[in-house]
Chain A
Amino acid sequence: MKVTDIVKALDLKVFSGEGGLDRDVSGGYVSDLLSDVMGNADTGQVWLTLQTHKNVMAIASLKDLAAVILVGGHKPDENTAMQSNEEDIPVLGTNLPAFDICGKLYELIYNT
């Protein structure tokens, strides 16, 4: 499954990093604690968070994540979007709260 498939199926907004929409997705990880993501997320996962600052992209890039989904209507800071474009790691968005979007994403990745 590609990031673009998730965008279409879950009707996500693409804020930035369009160049990375064809990245392969291996799974997902949900956390707003950066060290938790650093220590426990894995390559190719989609990261769901409400953190919007630039350090999110530093972590996404260091961990080779497939994309970031900002939950609950959050929008990326300007320099977050800029780094997302430079790294070709998409920042996506949804108005749904974390629980709801996680449920849908889980269903999509593991049961379709």
Chain B
Amino acid sequence: MATKREYTTEDSSSSAKRPKMENGNGKLDAANNPYLAHWNDDKSNTANGLYDFKRHATTTKQASAAEDGPLNPFTGRSLSNRYMGILKQRRDLPVHKQRDEFLKLYQESQILVFVGETGSGKTTQIPQFVLFDDMPHKSAQMVACTQPRRVAAMSVAQRVAEEMDVELGEEVGYSIRFEDKTGPNTMLKYMTDGMLLREAMHDNNLTRYSTIILDEAHERTLATDILMGLLKEVVLRRKDLKLIIMSATLDATKFQKYFHNAPLLAVPGRTHPVEIFYTPAPERDYVEAALRTVLQIHATEDEGDILLFLTGEEEIEDACRKISLEAQDLVREDAAGPLVVYPLYGTLPPAQQQKIFSPAPPPTRPGGRPGRKCIVSTNIAETSLTIDGIVYVVDPGFSKQKVYNPRIRVESLLVSPISKASAQQRAGRAGRTRPGKCFRLYTESAFKKELIEQTYPEVLRSNLASTVLELKKLGVEDLVHFDLMDPPAPETLMRALEELNYLACLDDEGELTTLGSLASQFPLDPALAVMLIVSPEFYCSNEILSLTALLSVPQVFVRPASNRKRADEMKDLFAHPDGDHLTMLNVYHAFKSEEAQANPKQWCHDHFLSYRALQQADNVRLQLKRIMEREELELMSTSFENKKYYENIRRALVAGFFMQVAKRDGNGKAYMTVKDEQNVLLHPSTVLGQDSEWVVYNEFVLTTKNYIRTVTSVKPEWLLDIAPNYYDVAAFKKGEIKTALQRVATKIQRKEQEKGKR
């Protein structure tokens, strides 16, 4: 009892005892005291080890003592051996040396800009530093740390849970779109920046958080940029909120300027040099050159793992396969040691993502050549994930980047040259554990002349319809003067406003409508959200729900290069003559059938479908269904026997996608998009074989030929009927489309009149 009282005093004021606490003795005694532990457990959520910590006045020494255990300062359980091992590693990280300075600045300033090279420990350590000083659990709040990528959020949360010796989803959790792994005890939450933005829509002041860390700010994702704009205002309203902006690029002046000259803390950089190599001349085929470089490194270079950057899932999987095959040959010829190859990209399931952290394989025989691992990754490995042991980086100089053209309303992911800044980041990955080498598959002159300095922030490369809807929901009225670090082109904002207006999410004064407010509840593009919300009017909300989920996940059809014909035959089993949307729906229904569910993996494999995508669609559907139920949107189906079953679905499609319609140009193969009048072709993958004059499409694929992908045929009458504002024929530009629509309008009128006469 005595002890208890003592601590209570300590907690509340404490001056006399402070010195004693700071030398760590008091704390250790307390931690060792089982009686005390029990007391702390009772006060659920009060940390055992941190009872004497004064919020925003702690020191590194205190925190270190608490970290040393023997009891976990946050849970009161004893710490594992593994924890101790990791703790030692953690203390070797560059950020650790700056813990004092960090704490000082963090305590003094509301906003702090923190820069440090990838691998210095920003993502994993800084939030923990914050926990010991901020102690959000004491005020039932949390520390949020945002990540631009789902993969990083999951992987880093997992790692930090291990570092803190807690169960993932308990004290440390993560939250990404369609997946929330947090619980009532969560005090540190890694989340995608998009998720934090969504939370801000419901809680404009983000009151659940005591500290918000925007990590990887240099990546300048759309959500991070918007969050920066919002938080800049929130910190004025909430003086108790602390904000840390973390970046891997050293030039942070832009961030500082933007945040009212916030203080900057920089951790000194890597210690190992990275030698850069260029090819003496441009490469004919960067993928092939990359493969050869990897194999050459493997056969001839010293021990050390390889990181190869490629652009997308397909390219990466293909490269992994080829490298593995060739490497096996090398081993057989005894020209090299064993090589394991791991892919890394955003849509990879978490378990497979974790594999990249496994150590390189041992030599095949004792004394043989050392093994190596090779990671073939998208941009994720550029800064988001730190993989120790990488000594060689192979950089072809490309990545997939989003671009948006508001004139023709096309947003696409295109393979484009990276920026100089990206190239340097990539190279930096080689010097983590010892001197490394970066092989650039381009010439030095290409580096200098063909690469732009900085990658354009996403806000300048995106369709902003969702963003504008979110901003409206966030209460931002004046979009023109919203303080973004890089404001988008005016035309991009106009397009977004216009799309939302046509979707009836904004009224003619630019105010959010009920529909718009509802649509903002869904983590979906406005067109998809509107389609889903209005689908009950077409008696097919169950089906549209499935379809929306299917359109939100990667491609469900698998078409391996080696077996295209068979894959196409299988796809034909599901084909619906009216289009790809309906075909996808058929696939989903078949997938959910008893027969398929008996062994869904095998079934998918047999039918050339992606089990992962379908499973994901199932999950997304469930999440969306919850939102629909919460918003009291009715779930219903037209009876399958009813001949309007498919027609209703197609009409509901029009209700969301009336701005993505194309009309066939004469009798040929060519189509022209409505209003924007771009010439397009149906993507070769379409099942739509028959004569379809009007189609809705899900995606405009920008290549040297413009394709529309995932298309379904619709009737022009529906366009006029369902989206009369957009299809205000009088406002159309003179041309074939206008004439055709006029004809349809006249026909409808005549019918109406006849009806009226009868």
Do A and B belong to a common assembly? no
**Chain A residues packing against B (C-beta within 8 Å):** none
